[in-house]
Amino acid sequence: MDSESQIIRTEYSDLMKKSYIDYAMSVIIARALPDVRDGLKPVQRRTLYDMYELGIRYDRPYRKCARIVGDTMGKYHPHGDSSIYEALVVMAQDFKKGQVLVDGHGNFGSIEGDGAAAMRYTEARLTKFTQEVCLADLDKNVIDFGPNFDETEKEPLVLPMRVPNLLVNGAEGIAVGMATSIPTHNLGEVIDAVKAYMKNSAVSTRQLMKYIKGPDFPTGGIVVNKDDLLNIYETGQGKIKIRGKVEVEELKGGKKQLVITEIPYTMIGAGIGKFLNDVAGLVESKKTTDIADISNQSSKEGIRIVLELKKGADVENLKNMLYKKTRLEDTFGVNMLAVADGRPETLRLKQIIEHHVDFQFELATRKYTTLLEKEREKSEVQEGLIKACDVIDLIIEILRGSKSVKDAKACLINGITDNITFKSPRSKKMAALLRFTERQATAILEMRLYRLIGLEIEALRREHEETLKRIARYEDILNNYDSMAGVIIEDLDRFKKEYARKRRTAIENAAEAVFEEKKIEEQEVVFLMDRFGYAKTVDVSVYERNKEAADSESRYVVHCMNTGKLCVFTDAGRMHQVRVLDLPYGRFREKGTPIDNVSNYSSSEEQIIAVYDAEQMRFAKLLFATSQGMVKRVDGTEFQVSKRTIAATKLQEGDSLTVVKVVNDSQNVVLQTKNGYFLRFHASEVPEKKKAAVGVRGIRLQKKDELENVYFFEEGTETKVPYGEKEVTLNRLKLAKRDGMGTKTR
């Protein structure tokens, strides 16, 4: 074969498209989405089956998780060990699953987000629920097996799940281009809904919801949009609003405290820490003054977050504020996506139950077909043994007269007597009439002599009668829908009785959380920022009393309103907005907070060159000047924006912003360079531009010189400024035009 014939010519985009679709489908079907029949992802299914194969049952000792993970990875799941262990851990966490599938021993993490210990330290085994509900009857040919990744083992394509695990334990997964998010439900309610569907397949979603009230999260909480649930279950998509459970406890002295005993399911993990930080933030920003102390007293017994309130606190308003401003009220996005009939599909509640019931009938059919075959084989053998007991003397004569087992078997099955010696012709004639089956003949030849005892023969007859009853029962189950449905329902009732528990999550319609934010009394304050970037605000009277120290110690002093914003301009040509309320307000000698903490400003990348009150800028014109001598005027209204950070001006390559100052047309402008060139001209010569413009040249710079400062003065006033060791009188400088070279100071 020549090399040319091995080259496949194809369009590159077609190849990429096919490869990506193959990858996407692999992620969707074989990794991220659960199967509607058992509600498990492949990694979960493989882990549970491996534990079953290793014999790590609920009534046997725990085994190291590292052993389980290693065995699963080597036999069935050729991916990272961390993904297998994470799946194992989640199946053992009672705060994530409605029914835990793995019994964990050791540190399996906490509801507050603590991770599980390493797999070499923890141990696990199957729960009784998993064995009886997820893995029962695997020996009865109820499911199909397929080859593993290297075709050295067989693995189940689905587990024989006896309850709708997809609803009971929910699911979360992110695939390619799609994601699934199914909440957990109450086992008892789900079983009742399945029974209702089996009794009437035309049942509506609304009727099913008489049994399944809504999600039942292991963390409890309250679902507050009950009316939306019908649409969610009819479409398979929607948003569930969950609130934590808040109780009010009375303390001595008329004080009260709010105690959070249940949290929204979405708050599991880092959400609890974030909630505590958010509450602390509300206190620090003075959004609420009702909270005296916050403490997290949660333990293994359950969640207990305590907010100690000040005397006379408005409890209802505070509760509503917590719902509105923190994750104490959160949204659970529902997208009931699962693999059904080999393809991903968004399923309605009724569809999930339909698929489950169809699967149960398939399991039952295969189970009772297998049992029926075994009972028929048993019956055949029993009939042969009973018949043999009736002619036992003849059979003994055949065996004694045979030269080989083959001859004896041929006689028992087909009545061939050629190679057998009989005591009488009558015996030979009777032997020729024998017609045992192959299985019966084998059983007769293997039969022990004690079976000839009278009582044993009676026991054999009774056993045969029981076998015939079982055969009749299995045939009835297989041939009669009601009989099979009755068996399935009987099992469901047994599971409900043993494993169902009371509902934890309350379902109700609650009013939208509305709270009155305490209005902050508007007042004038003074913003102070030192040369290290620490900023604060103080009362005007405090500033006046300490004016001399404040002016000398502060790099920027700005009068502003406490409800307003400050505009911070940097040499990188950016403007950062800071809410005055975000700055600490108080005593003059307090250090303050770094300006970086309350804005997007980064002191490592840029330097502050000006700070202005946003409201005062509205009525001003700002002069921008850069180190390369470019100038422009910009209307202050251009900086009335909602964004926290914007580009304040456009800079040429290698240029930086040097000065941003408020200017008016009546003033004279003096540009001063580093090398001592001064250029004086009227402010009206600087054109007004948009903030996105570069500007025009203000002064012609000499080589290796740059603009250092800009001064303003009114015509007819004497203004002196320092330069080096000298003073320069600005009004004595020659009045020139913009874009000149300026005058060198002597």
Distance, CA of 498 to CA of 492 (rounded, Å): 10
Distance, CA of 200 to CA of 194 (rounded, Å): 10
Distance, CA of 565 to CA of 578 (rounded, Å): 6
Pairing relation of β-strands 256-262 and 343-346?
unpaired
Q: What angle do CA 357, 363, 367 make, to 5 degrees?
A: 145
Q: What angle do CA 408, 412, 415 make, to 5 degrees?
A: 100
DSSP one-letter code for 318: H
Active site residue: 20, 58, 121, 481, which one? 121
Q: Please, are residues 169 and 40 in contact by the beta-carbon 8 Å criterion?
A: no
Distance, CA of 288 to CA of 278 (rounded, Å): 12
Alpha-helix runs per DSSP H in 267-404: 270-284, 315-325, 349-390, 392-401
The values of phi and psi at residue 634, to 5°, are: -130, 135
Assess whether 121 carries a catalytic annotation.
yes
Q: Please, are residues 699 and 671 in contact by the beta-carbon 8 Å criterion?
A: yes
Q: Please, are residues 325 and 288 in contact by the beta-carbon 8 Å criterion?
A: no
Ordered DSSP codes for 482-505:
HHHHHHHHHHHHHHHHHH-----S
Q: Which two tokens stand for residue 379?
A: 């019956």
Burial of residue 92 (number of CB atoms within 10 Å: 0-12, 13-18, 19+) = buried
Distance, CA of 741 to CA of 106 (rounded, Å): 80
Distance, CA of 267 to CA of 261 (rounded, Å): 13
DSSP one-letter code for 540: H
The residues annotated as belonging to the active site are: 121
